[in-house]
Structure formats: C-alpha cells, structure tokens
A and B are shown apart, each in its own frame.
Chain A
Amino acid sequence: MKRTLVLIFTLLVLASLAVSAEIQLDVKEHVLSNGLKILIVPKPGVPRVVCHIYYRVGSINERPGITGLAHLHEHMMFKGTKMMGVTDFAKDDALNKRIDELMDKIYREKFWRSDGGDNEKIAQWEKEYDELVKEEKQYIIKDDLWTQYMKNGATGLNASTGNESTGYYATLPSNKVELQMLLESDRMLNAYFREFYSEKDVVMEERRLSENRPGFFFNEQVNAAFFTATPYHWGVIGWMDDLRKVTKDDLIEFHDRFYVPNNAVAIYVGDLDPQNIIEMAEKYFGRVPKGPDLEPIRTYEPPQYSEKRMYGEGNAPTSLQMMFHTPPEGHPDDAPLSVLASVLGSGGGGGGRFRGGGGGSGRLYKILVQEKQLAVSVSARSRGMWYAGAFQFNANPRFDKNVKPEDLENEIWAEIEKIQKEGVTPEEIQQVKNRSRSMFIRSLSSSMGLARSLGRAELNRGWRSIITDLDDLKNVTNDDIKRVAAKYFVKDNSLTAIYTRKMGERQGRR
C-alpha cells in the first residue's frame, strides 16, 4: 500500500504473529560540487517549508581554552555579514578592527599578567572601548537577519549547538524558501563578527541561568569525571574562564575551519518542488568555495580500570546516578543496549529516540516505584553519541520512607545481575520493537522533527541510519541483551554519583 506522503509501507506478515515493517523514506538527495549535501522531503499540504542547515561542529571540536566557542559562534552568526546588519561596511570594519586591537591589549593586561594587570590602564582602555562601540552603532542595523526572517513570516526561527552538531532553523511560507538560501549562504560565505564582546556577556548570562538551576554544578562535575579524555568532558556552554578569555581570533579561526559547505547539510521538508529547491541551492550555496577536508576527533575514551564514586550536597532533590561507558552509536552493541534501556526504564518518555525513559511500564518503575515504594522516579537511558556512549540510571528515593540513594543503587544492581543471568522476557523485547516502530512513524508527522533527525544522522553515519537503526532493533535477541549486560555493567566501568538535598544559606533570609 502506498502512502501519498513520506512513507511507503511494506507489511510482511511472518509465520509468527510478529509483523515486520519495512519503512522507506522518500528523501531526495543532491550534492553540490562544493560538497554541500541537500536533502529534500516533499510533504504537500499547508504551504510552508521547514528549512534547516546543520554543520558538523559542536563542543567536541573545541579544546581547553576555547570551550563554549561552538555555542558562542552560533550566537555570533546572527550578528550580520559583510552585507547584512551594516549600512557602511568599510567604515564599520575599520572601527571593528580598532575595537579588536583595543580588546587585545585589555585581555593581555587582564588575563596574561598574574597580578590581573594595571587597573588604571584597563579602565582607560575600557573607556575608549565604550566610545568606539558607541561610534560603531551608527553603522549597525540591529538584528537585521532575524528581522528579515520575521517579517517574511518565519517561525521556528532559532539555532542550537550540541556536542557534535550545530543547526540553524527557519520555517517559511513555501514561496519564500529563496530567502533562507540567500541568508544562509551569505552567512556561510560572508560572516562578519561585530558586537562580539557584548555577546560574550550574553553567553555568560546564559551560563549563569544554568548555574542557578539546583544541582547544575554537581552534574557538570559528574559529566567531567565520567568523560576524561574525549571532548565530551566539558559541556556545550563551556567553562566560565574560557568564555571570559576567548578572543575574536579564536572565533574567526573556528569559523573558517568548520563553516564550509563540505561540512554541512541543508534540509527542506514541506510543500515544495524538489527541482526548484535544487536549482536555488545551486545558485546560492553553489557560490561558496569548498573547504579543506576535516579530520574526525582523534581521542576516544580509554578504559576506566577502576570504579568512580562522587558525593555532593545542595538544594536539588536527593538523587542517584549510575553511569556506564558504552560504545558510540552505530556499534553492534548499540541496539541491544537501547532495547535494554527501554525495557528497564520506558513508558514515561524523556528517553529520546527509542532509547529508554522513566516511569510507566518500565521494569524498574514497576519494582522500585510501584511494588517496593522505594523511589518516586527511576529511569534508564542509553546514550550513543558519535565518539562515546553512556548507559545511565537516574533515581530519586522516597523521602517519607527514609530511603537512601545507596538503597536504590543496591536494588538496581540486583536487577542488573538478574538480567545478566536471565535476560528479559520475549514480551518486553516485543514491546520495545512495537514502540520503536510506532514512535518512528509518529515522528514523521512533525516536519521539524524529521528535518532534525535527518540532519543530525546525515552528519555522522548518513540519514539512512535512522532506518537501519530501526532494523537493528528488530534483530535484537535475549542473548544479545544478556551479553551486553555482562559486558558493560561492571563496577570498573562505572561512575556512581550520590547527591543529598541539604537546604543551606541559599534560601536564608536577608
């Protein structure tokens, strides 16, 4: 049976009751000579097109000293180009260079000298900086790119930076896709970084917002203790020191290296004509020169060799986290680990793409929350990333029953040992297979969600991996599950983090 939209279903009724669905996505591919890949999914209906572009760059492409730069750079991509956001480029450029020279002097004085520099000198230069910034304002058209998108009816307008990729998003009326082609190719080709220093302040405020979330600092340290060698060691927001000290030169170098067409994929989903999209892409993105080839990340996580434990206190809820190193996505063990995470912790969502979750009908929820009444919540999640993986349990103990995180830890270990011996039941495995199939179909109803899945997948293992991953799940057996449970759930491969709620002076009265 043929669907008019993105899906062609072939139902193969097998001898048993199991039904296997071969799912095909109607994705049109086109590669420009500069290496930019275009993916197109026609979806007739409401006259709108989701237009996303993803770059293969994120916090894992940073190093100590420039952590947080991938995200700061994403902010800076909204500050205009040689064409956008400026009335007189030559004059603006001259002023901007003077600002950069001045800030270079300030940074050297402040950050290179161990005594923090000469405050008087710094104050004088900062005054000069303020004056130059004021002078530059006459040439700046504020948030020009954003305004152009908005007044043409863009929705879902945003950008986001992750560990591995960075995306720029707009959904436009279907007659205005050309605007996105113009603006995005322009900022790939002609990005110009004005208002850099005030934007650093904005990003530091963004980091402070995270810092004020209970438990943030502890979790940041847990992550850093778990990933020691890979660049997953630091968060996307970066360390505050690096945000303070990162320079314009760092930014430009980063941009020139990673923002090249051969390191990106552009995706269009909606009411569109594929040929028309390809022609426009050739015209606009085709003018951007190809960049050098980019080497993948070199460092993988070495074996841990010994158990890690962390303890913390503060004003977040008491909790237990247990983390185990697992292989990156695409490894043959990824599928059984995903099935196991779903069996243990599924039902309440929150686990992302068929990779576990919390609550509902997951095995741990039934045992720890419903039957034994030891926890208010418990989840299991398998997170395969591009260069590393983590299998993670999270649980919050019952306060009124005086349960300790360590009690939950023992319970989870007991369940793990049971799975290592017996595995899980055929019904549990079948449920995960059914759920992954239906969740996949449901995910196709959101153009934005589809664009996101395709884009991120394309940058690592190709967009077809979202379908082959589903096929891999179908083939998982109980023996696979027993095997991966035995292989990865060992103490020397784990980090256990115990956090205890303690109301301190944070809420003291003034």
Chain B
Amino acid sequence: MKKTFTILFIIGLLVSLGFTQVQKPSDLKFPPLKYEPPDPKDFRTDFGNGLRGYIQEDNSLPLFNISAIVHFGSLYIPKDKLGLNSVMGDTLIKGGTKTREGSDIEDRINFIGGSLNFRVGDQTSTLSLSVLSEDMDEGLELFFDVLMNPEFRDAPLDLAKASLIQRLRQANDQPSGILNREYERLLYGEHPLTWQPTQATYEGITGADLKAAHAQYFFPRNIILAASGDFKKADLKAKINKAVSGWKNKKLSIPTFSKKFPQPEPGVYFIQMKINQGYISLGHLGLEETNPDYFAVQVMNFILGGGSFTSRITTKVRSDEGLSYNQGSRFRYIWGFPGTFSGYVQTKSSTVGYAISLILDEFNRIRREPVLEDEMETAINYYLESFSNSFESPQSTMSTFADLEMTGKPMDYYKTYRDKINAVTRAKVQEVANKYIHPDKCVIMIVGDFEPCNAGGDEWPGPLDKLGKVHTIKLRNPLTGEEQK
C-alpha cells in the first residue's frame, strides 16, 4: 500500500516535471494581477498653523519615521553667501538649538539607536528622523526642536566651514565630478544653477546669516511633513500640533530666476586630465518635468539609452563593441527649469571618438526611423509592470506625495500615470525624439588625456575636430573660483 502510493507519487512527479515543464519565457502564463496605487487624499493631513503632511499608519514593524520637506535650497542663496546651503546642511543639527547643544542631540539620538539627518537640495531641504516607536515622543521633541529652533553655535559652525573648505580642494579630483559640473556650466551659463562656493564665500558665512535664512524659509506653511510607522494617526497629529503651536508663519519670498540660457556653440569641449579613459557627456538642454510630452520622452529615452541593457546605446556601445562599462542617455529634470539631455560614456582614450560617433548615430536613428514594435512593448511593459515598486515603502510613498504637492504637480499624477504611458505610440516616440534631441546642437564634453583621445584608433581615427570645433576648457581653482594658470 505504502509502496503503491510512492510509485504513484513518483509517476505524478514525472508527469508534472515531464509534461508541464515550460521551455521558454513565452510559454509562461501568469495569473492576472490588479494593482491600484494609494491615493494621496487618504493620507493628507492638516495640522495647526497651516502645516500640511502625509501620514500613514504602518504597524508591521515597531518603527517611527518622519520627514519635514522645506521649500528651501541652494538656488535661493545669494551670490556672496554661496555654500550657505552646505554649511546649513552640516550645522542645523550639530549647531544645537536654543536649549540643547548639538552634540547632546546627536548623542541622545545615537543612544536610542535612531537617526536624524538633514540635507539641502537645490530647492527643497529635508530633515528626517527614524527611531523605534517606543522612542517616538523623545524623537519628535528633538526633531521639532532642531527644525524650529536651530542656534548655529560658533564652534560647530567653524568646524563645518573648515571641513567644507578642505573638501573644496578635492573639487577637481574626480573626472566624473568635473564633467557633471562643467557640462551644466556650459549649458546653463552663469546662473544660480551653476554657481559654486569658494573659500571666501564659505569664510564669510556667519551664524546670523544661517539664522536669517532659517527664519526666512522655515515656517509651517512652507513645510510639508511625511510620516509613517507604528502609531495612531490622531495621537501623532495631536503631538505635532502641540509642538508647532507657537510657530509663526511668514510671507514666502522666493527669488525670481532667468530662464534664458546661452546657446553654446556645438562642438567638442575638452578638459585635460592625465587618465586612461575619456569621460564623456554630449547633448543640450532638455525639458521641464511638467511638460505634457514627459511620458513620451520617458519611453523614447528608455529605448534610446535609459533602459539599461534593453536600450540601443548599451547594446551598441557596450554589448556589441565592448567599449565601455557605463553608457546610456538621460534626461535630467529640475523643478521649474528645463533640465538637461545627455548621452554619456566612459571609454579608453583610443576609442573616445568611436564611442561618441556611435552614440550620435543612435541620436540620429531614433529621430529618423520609427522604433520597433518589440522595443515599444518592452518599454511600455516595463513602466506598467514595475509601477507598484514605487509604493513598497510607506515612508517613501508619503515623501513622494509630499513632493508632488510641494512642486505643484497634479495629485492624480500616479493615478493617471499608467494611462499616460500606455497612450504613447511609436509615432509619438519619433515626434518627441525630433523635438527634444538635436544632434546638430550637441556639445560634446570630454574629460581625458588629449593626445591619445585625439589620435583615436583603428575604428575611428582622429582628430577629434571631425566631431566639431575643439574648445579647451580650463578648470577654475575651486578655492578662488578663478581660472587656473
């Protein structure tokens, strides 16, 4: 009896192995899966004094996370105080508050095994706290004290300035850092988007400057909270309301910015550095994230060079030719400004010209010919099928919603996202390729060793001026901001 059963079991196993074994991915039939993204409305919470937030209860782990997103960033710093953003990034916590030394705050957070961080972006800044839920009350007290009452004491301020000045000395060490900075400087010209701090501007920053900037931008109506964790929403709301009850609002005044940018002469812009590869970016200004073409541009760029190994630039430059490890194309977005478009690659000096020519070929091809059905299917399916991934972490979902509201994007952005991706057609891809990629207007920036790059190799013998007039960019002394002799 037992034996029969075993034999039957083995036969059953063989049947299941032998007859139902699929061979190819296309043979697989997946059960249907329906997913609806969370709706920001369900989490939106109004606090006292015009403070807003997105709150999600999540009792899966005994944790408490909260972030305050402040509408303040490096772009709003006047030219004679450049670097104030970095100094504030280093001292909002370490500089202490009216009633606490910074080191006491850090010691306490460390003792309870929490983390408290502050970072300043170009137009938004974020203070983030993460503690065990059993430490929520103490965490909240420290969080709001730092957010509302920073003191920027002299000793931590001097230390931060000395450390930032020392870091300035390294500004021309890394080829990738140089390339990113100089590429933007070329495309945006002299503009707050490209201003760099110097030793003198760092030295000129005082505690009073930091307090003034804090007073100007850190007030309830200019902040959106994001919180998640093991708490009761009503309880958290009451605690936050209590913490901010005396916090006064101000009138927000944000500087206005020119949106006129120079049109740099197309051609090669070379930065000399004695290394064994060329680090390359080629392109021009891009578009704003709020542009209705954004979705079509995403799909187009996925096919061109954004979709890693499924994209044309990676297939050609890396997989076919073995020229590089890292290559592709990207549209970078900046809130309120046109972003940048670039093809990028790092390759050994002798194949710099060749790699650039291959990327330019791909820029031209996606303008000239409609993309293939297969490429469209892969790109669109990727965006649709990976969509739910954006909502895996409750805290990052709350931050994403706070960010939507902060930057004035429609609150149904995620609700309508998949429909908008689905609506992109092959014709639309070709249309936006022609509208937003202009090979004839490209600047080609190279950080590398000129002689071997210019000599080229068998597949693409130099000189580099076959790609356009070669301009030489001299790096500035990062300490003074002046051109190096």
Contact = CB atoms under 8 A, between A and B. Distances in A.
Interface of A: 3-7, 9, 43, 45-48, 78, 83, 137, 142-143, 146-148, 150-155, 157, 171, 173-176, 178-179, 182-183, 195, 197-203, 205-206, 208-209, 211-214, 283, 286-287, 315-317, 346-347, 349, 360-361, 366, 369-370, 373, 376-377, 396, 398-400, 427, 430-431, 434-439, 441-442, 444-447, 501, 505-510
Given A146-B308, A198-B320, A214-B173, A5 B61 contact: yes
B272 A317 contact: no
Interface in B446-475: 450-451, 472, 474-475
Contact of A153 (B112, B385, B393, B472): B385
Contacts of B475: 507
Contacts of B324: 202, 205
Contact of A213 (B112, B174, B387, B474): B174
Contacts of A444: 61
A48 B310 contact: no
B8 interface: no
B113 A146 contact: no
Contact of A205 (B35, B59, B348, B381): B348
B276 interface: yes
A347 B112 contact: no
A200 B323 CA distance: 10
B392 A47 contact: no
Given A183-B25, A435-B110, A195 B319 contact: yes
Contacts of A508: 272, 274
Interface of B: 16-17, 20-25, 28, 30-33, 35, 59-63, 103, 106-107, 110-115, 130-132, 155, 159, 162-163, 165-167, 169-170, 172-175, 270, 272-277, 279, 307-310, 314-315, 318-326, 346-348, 377-378, 381-382, 384-389, 391-393, 450-451, 472, 474-475
A155 B112 contact: no
B113 A46 contact: no
Given A214-B173, A214-B174, A400 B165 contact: yes
B128 to A, nearest CB: 12
A214 B273 CA distance: 12
A442 B16 CA distance: 41
B347 A347 contact: no
Contacts of B103: 361, 366, 370
Given A150-B310, A178-B30, A182-B28, A442 B388 contact: no
A427 B108 CA distance: 11
Contacts of A214: 173-174
7 contacts: A45-B392, A150-B382, A171-B389, A201-B322, A286-B17, A287-B21, A510-B450
Residue among A146, A150, A373, A505 with most chain B CB within 10 A = A150
A212 B277 contact: yes
Contacts of B381: 150-153
Contacts of B159: 369-370, 373
Nearest to B392: A46
B166 A398 contact: yes
Given A366-B103, A398-B166, A510-B272, A199 B30 contact: no
Nearest to A137: B320
Contact of A209 (B31, B155, B319, B346): B346
A283 B166 contact: no
B166 A151 contact: no
A147 B309 contact: yes
Residue among B165, B324, B388 with most chain A CB within 10 A = B388
B450 A83 contact: no
A316 B346 contact: no
A9 B134 CA distance: 13
Contacts of B270: 510
Contacts of A283: 16-17, 20-21
A407 to B, nearest CB: 16
Contact of B273 (A183, A346, A438, A507): A507
A142 B320 CA distance: 9
A201 B155 CA distance: 51
Contacts of B23: 83
A4 B30 CA distance: 28
Contacts of B272: 507-510
Nearest to B395: A445
Contacts of A434: 111-113
A223 to B, nearest CB: 21
Contacts of B325: 202-203, 205-206, 209
Given A148-B25, A211-B276, A434-B111, A509 B474 contact: yes
Contact of B113 (A209, A286, A435): A435
A200 B32 CA distance: 41
A218 to B, nearest CB: 14
Contacts of B24: 83
B173 A316 contact: yes
Contacts of A317: 166, 169-170, 173
A213 B391 CA distance: 35
Contacts of B378: 147, 150-151
Contacts of A197: 322
Given A147-B309, A179-B28, A347 B22 contact: no
A128 to B, nearest CB: 16
B229 to A, nearest CB: 10
Contacts of A78: 309
B322 A200 contact: yes
Contact of A442 (B111, B130, B308, B314): B130
B277 A209 contact: yes
B315 A346 contact: no
Nearest to A362: B110
A155 B393 CA distance: 14
Nearest to B31: A175
Contacts of A202: 318, 322, 324-325
Contacts of A439: 113
Contact of A438 (B131, B310, B319): B131
A146 B314 CA distance: 12
Given A148-B25, A431-B110, A175 B274 contact: no
Contacts of B386: 153-155, 173
B33 A47 contact: yes
A156 to B, nearest CB: 8
A212 B276 contact: yes
Closest 4 CB pairs of A and B: A153-B385, A438-B113, A201-B322, A198-B322
A400 B162 contact: yes
A253 to B, nearest CB: 23
A199 B175 CA distance: 24
Given A434-B111, A507-B172, A445 B393 contact: yes
A20 to B, nearest CB: 14
A360 B156 CA distance: 12
Contact of B388 (A46, A203, A206, A431): A46
Contacts of A147: 309-310, 378
A142 B315 contact: yes
A142 B284 CA distance: 30
Nearest to A43: B60
Contacts of B165: 400
B75 to A, nearest CB: 27
A398 B378 CA distance: 52
B110 A441 contact: no
Contacts of B308: 146, 150, 157
A5 B59 CA distance: 9
Contact of A400 (B112, B166, B315): B166
B331 to A, nearest CB: 19
